[in-house]
Structure formats: structure tokens, C-alpha cells
Structure 1
């Protein structure tokens, strides 16, 4: 197969204060964080100056809570002088989500469930009003709005559609929530709530050819799947992670190994990564305030790669000894100094052996 080159193409979209302008091709390059060092005692190969630790493992106690199986999508939330990391559980019928509360120095204060009894909770997204949207990757899957602080019960947000949900990203500028769909002919959606900050009611729309959004007639999908209800809907091969920053929604498609950028202001859509290397099996995605994107691999050689505003794609970390797993749930602490993520199936390659890690170091913030 002819190897594709990294494509970072983008017209006039702001990314973390930097401009990615015009069409450009760039081969994989050197990471701004330097080369990876030999793996540490938990199997993490990191750049010099970074350290990693294992903070949770499926079936093992974390502050009294048995950590869930198959950890997947995650996000961080501020909590006084500390923070909270939320993680989904992608197992059938007993999925849900859990949270770990950290003190200012990174020590674990508490751990608890925020959602239980749901199905295949894969990815999701954080809202500006500090709730977690946990998405079911199942036939007629739902979105649940959860309280990461553990005070209020989770609630289904059925107006956001019943389909094989993957990830969600809030756009506070246009007051919409973008969503991906994990199907070979999945769609890219946006939900327009009637009142921003309240996801109970609203309109579900799908991106169509010609870069127009059209309303999905039946979000509940009782007769026909949402992705097949609008004739000129644009289809994507396996929608995965989703991240919004500075007017642009980035999302990944695993079927063609692409990272896309939807510029909401200019109403354009382009792949910013379209290659076989260094990223293979693009999945969850997050970013920093400086404009760097961090993309996790489903399989591949178990890396999280960084894509910089300077059009460089390179490995940031590699996890050794987890060859039958995938990397999930990358999320930065509110101050940007710690990165959390999981190995969904761990060293043994089974859902009950999930590992959740923390990496600390001099990230560009």
C-alpha cells in the first residue's frame, strides 16, 4: 500500500491562538517534547522530564471503590484546590461511570460511582456547566448527563438522539453539542438545546453534503436509524473521539484513520491528519490550551501522539506490555500539568484488567 502523508489542511481556523492556514502536507516529525525514553516500571515510555504512575486498576480498590472494568472515555473537572477525573466503563448492561477525586498534590481523596446500570458507556464529553455526558455505544444508545461531584443523580438526555453514540464536545459559542457515531456509515451530529445549559429539550441535526445542517426527523429512531433519516447526510467511517477548541471541532474516524477539523465559523471540514504513520487506529482525542492535540490509538503500537500547530505529528508516549488493549480516555487536569488515560484491557487483554494512568510533566500550557 502506498503510504499517505500527514495532511494538515485548514483555512483560517484558530487553534489555541495559532493559525493553521492553507493546505499543507507534513511528514511525521520530532515531538516538541523530545524522544521517548526506555519504559518505566509501569511500562510507560515517556519523554525526558515526565513521570508516570498507575492510579487505578479494574477490580482493585481505589479509596474504597472497586475500579470498573473496561475504562474508556474520560474528562477532568476542577474541585476546589484539586480536581476530579471521570471515566466510563464500556461493558454491557453494567457500564456506567466512576470518578476519582484528587487533592492539590495528586493524592487520591475519594472515588465513587456517578452512573450505574447503563450499557457500553464508551466516550462522551464535558460540558461548560461542569457535568459529564456519558454516551452509550449501543444500538439506540443514549446520552446520560452525570454529576462528576457525585451530588446529583444522572439523567438520560433522550432529545440528543438514540444511536450508537461515541463522543460529544460542547461549543459554547454557537450553543450546540457535537456528537460522533461509531458506525461504518455513521454521521456527525449537533444538538441545539432549547436553552443552553439544559439538555432536556432541543433539536438534533446532522451534517449534510454542502456543509449544511438538517434536522433529524425522529431522534428516537423508532423505525429508521438516525443516520438514514436524511437523504443527503454525510457519512463517516467509524466516528470516535471529539474535541472542541477555539471555533473548531476535531473528531476522529477509525475506519480511514483520519483526524477531521470542522471549522464552525467558516463552515468548512478538512482532514488534518490522513496518514498511516505515526498514528495508527485513531480514537479518543483531547487538547491543551496551547493548541496541541493529543490523539490516542486503538491498538497500533499503543501510543498517544501529539499534533502540534506547527504541523508536526509525533509520539508523545508509548505503553509497553499492553499489546492486546487500546488507549482510552485522555484528559488533562485543569491546570494542564497532568494527563490521565487508560489501557482498556490491560496487560492480559481482557476487559477486567483495565489500567488507568497519570502522566505528570512540563506540558506546553
Structure 2
């Protein structure tokens, strides 16, 4: 286990100070920072776009739902997203959490941050919520419906999207690739949802493989057991293995340095599955500034960024030394949620969306996609 990972998993913030826990004690602790301040300082009054940011950060609107951007009409209900390198520029992909037409759109940015063009890379799917990027530069887009599918899409628009049914037919939320163990973790947005692990026969080819479900053993210990029939039409995957461990409303998922971090909105927790110790513990237990835990991403500096579905419409940072604090707040959009946080390849730009924007319409027709630029730690 790396020093950074061990420090992250064994540190909690209590009030304004960080306290290190060892042995069994830390396993029952979680981050709680009601008075913490982010490493970027306090949030200033909201800017012209309604975004409250620390000093030195700026925001801009990249796209609005049902309006033209880069040669296409930007989709409604923008949700999960990720960034990919593309020559001297980069691409931001965004899901559409709409029924029946869903899909994914992608915007390419030039080296100076200006928009080059945009394209649709998936259409005609259903409630595409979150997903995850792969090490081979594809985007896994997940359907959040009964017997939903995982679609592998091409951000560069050169290959057709493919549905990987071997990854299970359930209410998919997010995916996170673990290149160290050559597996893909999958969350499930059900009140008794599970955490899954997909083990492809060949790393880099997700068409064939085995779906496992996380099961409880003793204490915080866990193990993986195969799901007998990942595509069963009647018995849902989460009910096929009696020992499966359940989480209330699985949401975002992010892998880094031997740990799979995932969120559960009903639990109001950020969980951490430690691949070395084979344990699951909470690194945030819902009693700090972060509320409505949802999409999650991270940086090479070891920081986690967690978006809120509701709450104060904030993105909070969780640092390796245990600080939990807001790094931005979207004001005047209380009936929306923050979705799709993702950093550009150089780490200086953060993209995200307000799914329903200022209108709060459930159709997501008022969705807004933003970019925040500043001295992020990376």
C-alpha cells in the first residue's frame, strides 16, 4: 500500500484539525469537517455566471441545452462526463439523462481553450447517467434504467458505439477502470444496490468477461463472488448472491492508487474499497459540508472532487490529509444538480454541468455546462 493511500484512508478531520487514526479505530471513523476550508481558500461572492469560486479562479459557460455549440445542438439533462487528450487539444464528453433519446455528446477544445467542434457519439439510448473513461481512451456510458446497459463509445467519433451486455443488465450508474488489476468497477443506483467488478477476458476488450458482486465477510472485510446470470430477465443481479453487500443509491465511482472510491446518496457517504486490504470503509460519512453525494472524480495530487445532487449545489474537495470543503458553489439553481465533473488533461480546467440550470425543469432543457479555470492542485 502506498504512503499516500494509507494516509488518505487513515486520516480524518475533526473541527479545524486533522487527527490520524491507526489500527481498528480508523476503520470506524470518517471525514467530518464542518469548519474546514479548502486549500484554495474561501469562496468569494458569485461571479456573473452565478458561480462562487476562490480567489484566482474564473468560470465560463461552455454550452447550454437546446442551443448550438460546435455545429450541434447541445443535449438536455447533461450528466456524467470525462476528458480525453486529442493532439494539442482535448475533448469533453457528456451524457444525456433523457429517456429514450439519451446518448452522449462530445466537445473538442483547441489548445487555447476555444471550442473547435462538437459531435454526437451515441444516440437513441435511455437515461444515460454517469459512466467512466477507459485507459484506451473510450467512454463507458451507463443507462440508469431497469436492465440498463453499458455502451462503449468513441470520443473521437471514429468508431460506432457498442453495448457490452456481459457487464450486466441493471440500473447502471458509474464505471471506473482499474488498470492495476485489469477490472472495471460498476455502481448501481438502487436503494439496495451493489458494487460490481467486471473482469474482461482480455484487458482492452470488454465484449467478454465475468461479472462479480462485492460480498460481506466479517467486519469491514469483503470478497468478490460471480454473479450467476448477469443478463437474467427476472432475477436482478443484486439479488442473485445472498452474501452481496448493499449500498443505498450507488452513484459516482473513481479508481486511484489501489482504491476504488464510490458514493451512495442514500448512505450520504463516500466509500473506499481498498484492493490490498480487501476492506470497504467510509472516507466521508455525511456529517460535514458535503451533502447529496453524487459524481466523483480525482486528480494526480490525490484530491477527490465530489459533486452534489441538491445540497448547496457545490463541488467539494476531499484532500489526502482529510479536509472536506467546497471549492465552488452554483447559486440560484436550487432545483438542479451538479453533474459530470472532469479535469482537462493538464489539470487546470474543470468541466461540469448544472443538469436543470436556472429553470429547474425536469426535462433538463435548461441544462448548462461550465468550465472553471484556476490553480488546481495536480
TM range (shorter): over 0.9
- Match of residue 336 from structure 1: 347
- Match of residue 54 from structure 1: 61
Deviation for aligned residue 1:268 = 1.1
1:181 aligns with 2:192: no
Deviation for aligned residue 1:287 = 0.5
Q: Is the 8 A contact 1:15 1:245 kept in 2?
A: no
Name which of 207, 211, 222 aligns with 2:214.
Answer: 207
- Match of residue 68 from structure 1: 75
1:257 aligns with 2:265: no
- Match of residue 284 from structure 1: 295
1:353 aligns with 2:359: no
Q: Is the 8 A contact 2:32 2:286 kept in 1?
A: no
- Match of residue 94 from structure 1: 101
Q: Which runs of 5+ in 1 are unaligned?
A: 1-11
Moved over 3 A (4+): 12-20
C-alpha distance in 1 between matches for 2:326 and 2:230: 39
CA 1:17–1:270: 2 relative to 1, 3 Å: closer
1:145 aligns with 2:145: no
- Match of residue 5 from structure 1: none
CA 1:244–1:35: 2 relative to 1, 3 Å: same
CA 1:14–1:96: 2 relative to 1, 3 Å: farther
Q: Is the 8 A contact 1:98 1:113 kept in 2?
A: yes
Q: Is the 8 A contact 1:287 1:293 kept in 2?
A: yes
C-alpha distance in 2 between matches for 1:253 and 1:110: 35
- Match of residue 123 from structure 1: 130
Deviation for aligned residue 1:26 = 4.4
C-alpha distance in 1 between matches for 2:350 and 2:285: 25
Q: Is the 8 A contact 2:9 2:283 kept in 1?
A: no
- Match of residue 362 from structure 1: 375
Matches within 5 A, 1:239-250: 239-250=250-261
Q: Is the 8 A contact 2:33 2:325 kept in 1?
A: no
Deviation for aligned residue 1:17 = 9.3
C-alpha distance in 2 between matches for 1:63 and 1:253: 35
Task: Show CA shifts across 1:248-280 (max 9, x none).
Answer: 000000002000010112111100000233011
Name which of 24, 30, 33 aligns with 1:27.
Answer: 33
- Match of residue 18 from structure 2: none
Deviation for aligned residue 1:18 = 5.5
C-alpha distance in 2 between matches for 1:223 and 1:127: 30
- Match of residue 194 from structure 1: 201
TM-score by length of 2: 0.92
CA 1:131–1:14: 2 relative to 1, 3 Å: farther
C-alpha distance in 2 between matches for 1:302 and 1:108: 26
Q: Is the 8 A contact 1:159 1:201 kept in 2?
A: yes
Task: Show CA shifts across 1:66-97 (max 9, x none).
Answer: 00000000000000011000000000000000
Task: Show CA shifts across 1:105-126 (max 9, x none).
Answer: 1000010000000000000000
Deviation for aligned residue 1:13 = 6.0
For the residue of structure 2 that corresponds to 1:219, the secondary structure is: coil
For the residue of structure 2 that corresponds to 1:59, the secondary structure is: coil
Q: Which runs of 5+ in 2 are unaligned?
A: 11-21
For the residue of structure 1 that corresponds to 2:365, the secondary structure is: helix
1:303 aligns with 2:314: yes
| Aligned residue-pair number | 354
C-alpha distance in 2 between matches for 1:236 and 1:190: 15
- Match of residue 315 from structure 1: 326
For the residue of structure 1 that corresponds to 2:263, the secondary structure is: strand
Deviation for aligned residue 1:27 = 2.6
CA 1:223–1:26: 2 relative to 1, 3 Å: closer
1:167 aligns with 2:161: no
Deviation for aligned residue 1:223 = 1.9
